[in-house]
């Protein structure tokens, strides 16, 4: 138990240390998720798979299970030990990433991709629940913003990290093979290990905080309460979910295939394509983070957020259609910057600025 100022300070330091580790894990999760974007050529050559199969591996095999598992995982986070839940998820996705380096068939890669999706689906709902109980209300928004920002940078940084790893491997061994392992096998092992190391650190630092009680008799809402709340606000949630889905289709399609498009269409080496594409995406996220909220504030209207969100979604869609039609890599990257600046940031704007505890009641509006 914490007692006095020293105990409170220790508890706060531990809570922020936990947020830092979780934010770093969020970055690692994106690296493990998107690293395959730089390995399309080697995977196709060694496993004899087609672009359609690669698309299934990147998209369907991940998205379906990530989405489906997220709902029961969120319920577990409402009631169970979130620390153990996160540890289990991190170990699962990291092991699946490492074992992908030893795959010899496309089916094995798909099964391990599904395992990665299940493991990564744990992190965000459990993290938001932990933030709600580990930190005071006035600090929760900052913690959630830091976590979200690390996710945005992780999506772009995945290609920069992978490109650096590829460059290092070729510098050590021009053939791209180390210890009898091919390039793509080495990359999977290299990016999978940090997750296990961070899981060990998280186990040492994190403690399961007591769940905050906001009123007498307060308890986690039942599934029936949640469904009643959702159906009572069906128009709101349908629009949010549909919009979020469309934005994710745009951003994730480019994240999966952007470097490959640069390499195939404009002849960029894979490592250069990864670094360049990752840098442009990172600049897009920084630019969008500044410009979009600024535009929203300047409108000074109660409906500014939905208006800006809709406009940015339409703009992102237009840039998304125009980018592959460009005849130069510079034109393509410029439109990629414009495409990713708007929709990716809108998603973070529409997220609640403060994360409530999992004990907040669901009441139909």
What does the pLDDT read at residue 78? 82
Do residues 77 and 126 touch, judged by C-beta distance below 8 A? Answer: yes
Q: Which domain holds residue 69?
A: 13-208
Is this structure's pTM higher than 0.85?
A: no
Residue 141's domain is classified under what CATH number? 1.20.1250.20
97 and 188 inside one domain: yes
190 and 339 inside one domain: no
- Tokens coding 83: 């620390």
177 and 42 inside one domain: yes
- Examine the fold and report which residue of 187, 208, 229 is the final residue of a domain before the chain moves on: 208
Considering just the CA atoms, what is the radius of gyration of the chain in Å?
21
253 and 163 inside one domain: no
How large is the average pLDDT for residues 17-45? 89
User: Which of 166 and 90 is assigned the larger pLDDT?
Assistant: 90
| Beta-ladder partners of 181 | 178
Say how many domains are in the chain.
Answer: 2
99 and 20 inside one domain: yes
- Domain assignment present for residue 87? The answer is yes
**CA geometry: angle at 112 spanning 204 and 102, to 5°?**
90
165 and 285 inside one domain: no
Residue with tokens 């009631």: 79
Residue count (the chain): 365
Q: Which of 87-91, 238-242, 245-249 has the highest mean pLDDT?
A: 87-91
- Domain assignment present for residue 283? The answer is yes
- Domain assignment present for residue 363? The answer is no
* 324 half-sphere exposure, CB direction, 13 A CA radius: 12
Which 8-state DSSP code applies to residue 212?
P
191 and 257 inside one domain: no
Neighbouring residues of 109: CB distance < 8 A, sequence distance ≥ 6: 43, 47, 57, 100, 103
Angle of helix 234-266 relative to helix 51-58, nearest 10 degrees?
A: 140
- pLDDT, tens only, 93-126: 999 999 999 998 999 999 999 999 999 999 999 9
Which segments of the chain does DSSP mark as H helices, in order? Answer: 4-34, 40-47, 51-58, 60-79, 82-100, 106-134, 137-172, 183-205, 223-232, 234-266, 270-299, 304-322, 329-349
178 and 35 inside one domain: yes
- Domain assignment present for residue 294? The answer is yes
- Domain assignment present for residue 5? The answer is no
- pLDDT, tens only, 295-328: 777 777 777 777 777 777 777 778 888 888 888 9
- Domain assignment present for residue 234? The answer is no
- pLDDT, tens only, 327-358: 899 888 888 777 666 554 554 444 433 333 33
Average pLDDT, whole number, for the chain? Answer: 80
- Examine the fold and report which residue of 208, 224, 258 is the final residue of a domain before the chain moves on: 208
What does the pLDDT read at residue 21? 95
What does the pLDDT read at residue 1? 45
What does the pLDDT read at residue 347? 47
């Amino acid at each position: 138990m914490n007692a006095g100022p020293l105990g409170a300070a220790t508890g706060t330091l531990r809570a922020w240390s936990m947020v830092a580790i979780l934010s770093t894990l969020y970055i690692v999760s994106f690296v493990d998720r998107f690293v395959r974007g730089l390995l399309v050529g080697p995977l196709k050559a060694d496993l004899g798979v087609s672009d359609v199969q690669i698309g299934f591996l990147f998209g369907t095999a991940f998205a379906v299970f990530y989405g489906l598992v997220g709902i029961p995982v969120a319920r577990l986070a409402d009631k169970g030990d979130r620390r153990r839940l996160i540890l289990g998820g991190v170990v699962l996705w990291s092991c699946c990433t490492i074992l992908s380096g030893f795959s010899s068939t496309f089916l094995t890669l798909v099964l391990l991709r599904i395992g990665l999706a299940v493991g990564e689906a744990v992190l965000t709902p459990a993290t938001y629940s932990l933030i709600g109980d580990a930190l005071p209300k006035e600090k929760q928004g900052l913690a959630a913003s830091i976590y979200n920002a690390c996710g945005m940078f992780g999506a772009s940084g995945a290609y920069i990290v992978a490109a650096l790893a590829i460059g290092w491997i070729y510098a050590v061994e021009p053939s791209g093979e180390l210890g009898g392992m091919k390039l793509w096998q080495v990359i999977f092992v290299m990016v999978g290990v940090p997750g296990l190391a961070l899981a060990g650190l998280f186990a040492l630092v994190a403690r399961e905080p007591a769940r905050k009680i906001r009123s007498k008799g307060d308890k986690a809402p039942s599934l029936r309460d949640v469904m009643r709340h959702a159906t009572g606000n069906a128009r709101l949630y349908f629009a949010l979910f549909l919009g979020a889905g469309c934005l994710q289709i745009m951003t994730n399609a480019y994240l999966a295939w952007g470097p490959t498009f640069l390499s195939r269409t404009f002849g960029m080496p894979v490592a250069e394509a990864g670094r360049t594409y990752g840098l442009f995406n990172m600049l897009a996220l920084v630019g969008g983070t500044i410009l979009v909220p600024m535009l929203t504030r300047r409108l000074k209207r109660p409906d500014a957020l939905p208006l800006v969100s809709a406009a940015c979604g339409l703009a992102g869609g237009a840039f998304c259609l125009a980018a592959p039609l460009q005849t130069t890599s510079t034109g393509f990257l410029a439109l990629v910057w414009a495409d990713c600046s708007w929709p990716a940031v809108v998603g973070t704007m529409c997220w609640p600025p403060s994360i409530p505890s999992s004990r907040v009641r669901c009441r139909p509006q």
